[in-house]
């Protein structure tokens, strides 16, 4: 059923009204931010002492940018603009046991997040009649609880399976007539292979739609998944610093992701000089929370590259659409939906005495899933030792890496000088996954 809305007034109000509210909420957010030591200093240094100092939306350009590293440096205290007893939940960014960013939520924050999620899913055609199977991790990862609360609030029947365990996923899909799944694109590809080997037939299932996000994927991956499963696939974008999912979501026209501008002030900036790029051109997405009470964030650099799609969508929603994420302005890798920085891998390797100086991170597809192989040079005298010793080093590297980056890499040991040495900047990451799987 097209053109169904969850919060029709907010979704279809005039641009003028939306911007009027954005300015009010921006001023309130600045005032809230000013109650934290971190933002008080940053804003005061920029000559801002009150939300009212911003007279129009474009005055946001005078507000300092917030970087991920700054938030990391505040861990674990983070930013609290409300009394501690008001806080009911926290989430952290994915992928690392190192220092993550922490975001706190009070009751209103959890409720508005659920509303954004419900609104997103209704835009993609979901309704209370649907059975929703949530195949992403519950816990600190925001995809699990974020989608879960939204789906319940919307009134779907939720099956909170969490990630993995493909045979159980398929059984539940079959037994409870699941109509919508939420997963990463790589997992849904993988699950199709599992389906083919299982006792179930595609025709037995009731699946109609999938909401896919948490990692980049191409338009051809969407088409492939739609053809394989015989479903509609909708792109979902978010990041833990902006709650998680529910920042931008495709409507049934599948023509870019509506960014909920009543909740997030959206800018696309040149990553070098932080100046706005003309609408329609690619830039780094920068968001300011407009509604969040516990942890307000001002002009947060996502490092994600996209563009605002000019024009209005046929669905009638006023909230502007962003294009598929085309890349990042840093070297963060997303491996099966988990964020990994090459520097984390390096930090682990360099603490292991047997490891030499050269290493390479190799990414490839293993069926539908990403496979990471860490190739390390170790000192040649070790190769003259016994195989057991080599195996011990290999498994020690593997388990230390697992402890730091959560995922399980393959580890290959190489003799010194055997891995390629780059002429200029070292090429540490070889990514052969390709955009189209």
Residues binding ligand AMP (CB under 6 A): 93-95, 142, 213-216, 235-240, 244, 302, 304, 325, 334, 339
The three-state DSSP-derived secondary structure of 137-161 is CCCCCHHHHHHHHHHHHHCCEEECC
Q: Which residues contact 321 (CB under 8 A, 6 or more apart)?
A: 248, 255, 256, 257, 258, 259, 308, 309, 313
Q: Scanning residues 110 to 139, which ones bind Zn ion (CB under 5 A)?
A: none
Q: How far apart are CA 284 and CA 305, in angstroms?
A: 5
# residues near Zn ion by CB under 5 A: 5
Minimum distance, C-beta of residue 247 to ligand AMP, in the bound complex (Å):
8
Please, which residue, 95 or 356, has the CB nearer to ligand AMP? 95
Q: What are phi and psi of 168, to 5 degrees?
A: -70, -40
* Interstrand relation of 410-414 and 369-378 (parallel, antiparallel or unpaired): parallel
Minimum distance, C-beta of residue 216 to ligand AMP, in the bound complex (Å):
4
Q: How far apart are CA 134 and CA 130, in angstroms?
A: 12
Name which of ligand AMP, Zn ion, none residue 93 binds, using a CB cut-off of 5 to 8 Å depending on partner kind: ligand AMP
Shortest CA distance to 133 belongs to which of 186, 93, 175, 196?
175
Asked if residue 340 binds Zn ion (CB under 5 A), the reply is no
Among residues 147, 205, 265, 313, the one that binds Zn ion under rule CB under 5 A: 313
Please, which residue, 214 or 345, has the CB nearer to ligand AMP? 214
Q: How far apart are CA 355 and CA 411, in angstroms?
A: 12
Q: In a 10 Å sphere around its CB, with 0-12 CB exposed, 13-18 middle and 19+ buried, how is residue 295 labelled?
A: buried
Name which of Zn ion, ligand AMP, none residue 302 binds, using a CB cut-off of 5 to 8 Å depending on partner kind: ligand AMP
Name which of ligand AMP, Zn ion, none residue 144 binds, using a CB cut-off of 5 to 8 Å depending on partner kind: none
Minimum distance, C-beta of residue 137 to ligand AMP, in the bound complex (Å):
11
Contact of 265 with 290, CB cutoff 8 Å = yes
Q: Which residues contact 219 (CB under 8 A, 6 or more apart)?
A: 324
Minimum distance, C-beta of residue 343 to ligand AMP, in the bound complex (Å):
16
Among residues 233, 251, 308, 411, the one that binds Zn ion under rule CB under 5 A: 251
Contact of 413 with 381, CB cutoff 8 Å = no
Name which of Zn ion, ligand AMP, none residue 313 binds, using a CB cut-off of 5 to 8 Å depending on partner kind: Zn ion
Minimum distance, C-beta of residue 326 to Zn ion, in the bound complex (Å):
20
Contacts with Zn ion by CB under 5 A lie at 251, 253, 313, 315, 317
């Amino acid at each position: 059923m097209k053109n169904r809305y969850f919060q029709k007034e907010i979704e279809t109000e005039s641009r003028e009204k939306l911007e009027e509210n954005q300015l009010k909420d921006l001023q309130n957010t600045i005032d809230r931010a000013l109650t934290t030591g971190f933002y008080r200093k940053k804003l005061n240094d920029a000559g801002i002492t009150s939300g009212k100092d911003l007279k129009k939306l474009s005055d946001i350009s005078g507000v300092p940018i917030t970087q991920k590293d700054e938030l990391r440096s505040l861990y674990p205290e983070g930013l609290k603009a409300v009394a501690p007893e008001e806080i009911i939940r926290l989430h952290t960014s994915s992928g690392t046991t190192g220092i993550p960013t922490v975001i706190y939520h009070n009751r209103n924050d959890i409720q508005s997040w659920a509303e954004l999620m419900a609104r997103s899913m209704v835009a993609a055609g979901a309704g209370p009649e649907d059975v929703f199977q949530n195949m992403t991790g519950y816990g600190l990862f925001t995809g699990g609880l974020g989608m879960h609360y939204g789906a319940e609030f919307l009134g779907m029947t939720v099956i909170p399976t969490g990630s993995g365990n493909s045979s159980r996923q398929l059984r539940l899909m079959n037994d409870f007539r699941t109509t919508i799944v939420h997963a990463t694109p790589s997992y849904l590809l993988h699950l199709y292979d599992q389906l083919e080997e299982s006792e179930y037939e595609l025709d037995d299932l009731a699946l109609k739609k999938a909401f896919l996000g948490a990692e980049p994927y191409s338009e051809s991956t969407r088409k492939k998944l739609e053809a394989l499963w015989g479903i509609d696939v909708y792109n979902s974008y978010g990041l833990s610093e902006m709650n998680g999912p529910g920042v931008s979501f495709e409507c049934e026209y599948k023509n870019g992701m509506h960014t909920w501008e009543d909740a997030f002030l959206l800018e696309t900036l040149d990553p070098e000089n932080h100046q706005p790029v003309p609408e329609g051109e690619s830039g780094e997405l920068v968001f300011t929370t407009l509604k969040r009470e516990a942890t307000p964030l001002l002009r947060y650099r996502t490092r994600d590259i996209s563009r605002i799609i000019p024009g209005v969508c046929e669905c009638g929603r006023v909230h502007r659409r962003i294009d598929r994420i085309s890349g990042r302005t840093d070297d963060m890798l997303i491996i099966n939906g988990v964020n990994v920085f090459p520097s984390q891998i390096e930090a682990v390797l360099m603490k292991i005495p047997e490891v030499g100086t050269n290493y390479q991170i190799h990414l490839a597809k293993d069926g539908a899933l990403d496979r990471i192989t860490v190739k390390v040079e170790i000192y040649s005298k070790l190769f003259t030792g016994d195989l057991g010793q080599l195996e011990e080093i290999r498994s020690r590297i593997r388990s230390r890496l697992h402890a730091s980056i959560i995922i399980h890499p393959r580890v290959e040991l190489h003799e010194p000088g055997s891995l390629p040495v780059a002429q200029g900047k070292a090429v540490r990451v070889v990514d052969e996954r390709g955009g189209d799987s």
